[in-house]
Amino acid sequence: MLCQFRVKNFMSYRDDAVLDMEAAGIEEFSDTLLPPPCDKFRPVVPLAAIFGPNAGGKSNAVNALAYLVSRVVVPVVRSTGEGRFFGMVLKNYSPFLLDEASRSQPTEFELVFHAKHAQYHYCLSLFNSAVERESLYYIKTPCERRRSVKLFERSRDGGIELGAALKKANTDKVSPTIPYLSFLAISGAFPEIDEVMDWFQSCYIQNFAVLDSDHQVSELLEEPKLKPLFLGFLDDMGIPISDYTVRNAKDNVKSGEETALEVITTHTVNGTSYSLDLGDESEGTIKILSALPGIVLSLLTGGLVLFDEFDAKLHPSLLRFLIGLYADPKINTNHAQLIFTCHDISIMRNDCLRRDEIWFAALNRDSASELWNLYFDILDEQGNHVNKNAAYDRQYLMGRYGADPYLKRMTEWGDNHAAET
């Protein structure tokens, strides 16, 4: 379970941005919280919804975490052939480019997460694609006290210090562009490293490309053990697809390349079955089919799933249904988590999300993105938090949470333009 994520100097984020998944001590939806490994740690929320204006930094917050996960996982899968690349792509990124100092500074990532036997604290600093610094610490659980133990530290000069658990690990010929965590996963068998990599491998990154060109998603839809679950979810959502098949496209790609796959859906009307190419389905249906593998796999494995623009092309009721899967302890028995960006404020309500699950991203006066939380970061003059019975959506549109300044400007422009004409 993800506890905290910090990023600095990544794309539009110049300064520290922290996404904290540890739960606040508030009453609402307390039964949805994911339990910690022992009483020395706080419970964790299953959801984080990030709202804000276009170009404010919502996507970059999710992309930063997706990049870190990909940076660790991709070298291991490419080298060993084990694991999977579900949505993991090493896209180019830049540091914050709108001041001279940030251009010459490294990009920093930091993760804290619970695995089966420990809480892990991983840090990675990159500059021009090379690793500047890297470290991994852990706290064994359950524990009497929170004692952090070093697994390894990697310094800017390439030196690597090992903790007792990794004293036999190889530190020679480590590529400056590959995380040492990935190197260890490739070259050795250490229980702590295996557990860390299992957590990274349980992350699902969804980019919502056209489904029949997305080979990974199409292959998962074809998985015999998963297909009944997918069809069951479609039925629960009222989507009238009785079956589907995944097959090789008629005009295969060139020899030596991956064979293209296409998805054919089946609709049964008055006892007669009709087949449709996926492209003939509505965009909403395509979106649901592309989202289901990540959702189902995360719920089955207790993984973390990342969605950008999760609400796009989804009816608000479907959006609530999917969010509710993670908030229902009877369904989310493996403690999966969902982090997503969203514009649909119909879910920004006290009957759908906890206050500490609602996040905002927007640009400050320096055109740098900032990330803040409805509960932790928004206080009135007396230091009181936003009331749990407040109309979050209305107050957001009124600009009281500071994440939609553009809406106010557009409204003022419309009023002034109407007065002039």
What would the mean pLDDT of 69-76 be, rounded to a whole number? 94
- Residues in the chain, how many? 421
pLDDT of 411 reads 47
17 near 8, Cβ under 8 Å?
A: yes
Please give the mean pLDDT across all residues of the chain. 89
Residue located via tokens 């697994």: 151
State the Cα–Cα distance between residues 37 and 150, nearest whole angstrom.
20
- Sheet with 272-277, edge to edge strand ranges: 243-248, 261-269, 272-277
> pLDDT for 346-359, tens place per residue?
999 999 999 999 99
User: Is residue 108 very low, low, confident or very high in pLDDT (cuts 50, 70, 90)?
Assistant: very high
Beta-bridged to residue 102, according to DSSP, are none
First to last CA, the chain: 56
pLDDT of 210 reads 42
User: Is residue 213 very low, low, confident or very high in pLDDT (cuts 50, 70, 90)?
Assistant: very low
pLDDT of 255 reads 46
Positive/negative CA dihedral, 126, 131, 132, 134: positive
pLDDT of 259 reads 56
> pLDDT for 132-149, tens place per residue?
999 999 999 999 888 999
Instruction: List the single range of 4-13, 213-222, 278-287, 324-333 with lowest mean pLDDT.
Output: 213-222
Of 121, 48, 129, nearest to 307 by C-alpha is 48
Is pLDDT at 251 greater than 70 in this prediction?
Answer: no
pLDDT of 17 reads 98
pLDDT of 47 reads 98
Where exactly does CATH 3.40.50 map onto the chain?
Answer: 2-202+302-407
User: Is residue 364 very low, low, confident or very high in pLDDT (cuts 50, 70, 90)?
Assistant: very high
Fold of 2-202+302-407: Rossmann fold (3.40.50)
> pLDDT for 252-311, tens place per residue?
445 445 556 789 999 999 999 999 998 899 888 888 988 899 999 999 999 999 999 999
> pLDDT for 183-210, tens place per residue?
999 987 899 999 999 999 999 998 654 4
State the Cα–Cα distance between residues 272 and 256, nearest whole angstrom.
40
What would the mean pLDDT of 397-407 be, rounded to a whole number? 74
Is pLDDT at 327 greater than 80 in this prediction?
Answer: yes
User: Is residue 212 very low, low, confident or very high in pLDDT (cuts 50, 70, 90)?
Assistant: very low
What would the mean pLDDT of 29-41 be, rounded to a whole number? 94
What would the mean pLDDT of 363-380 be, rounded to a whole number? 95
Inter-CA distances, 76 with 71, 83, 178, 180, 188, Å: 10, 8, 10, 11, 12
Higher pLDDT, 85 or 388: 388
DSSP annotation string for 277-331:
EGGGS-HHHHHHHHHHHHHHHHHHHT-EEEESSTTTT--HHHHHHHHHHHH-TTT
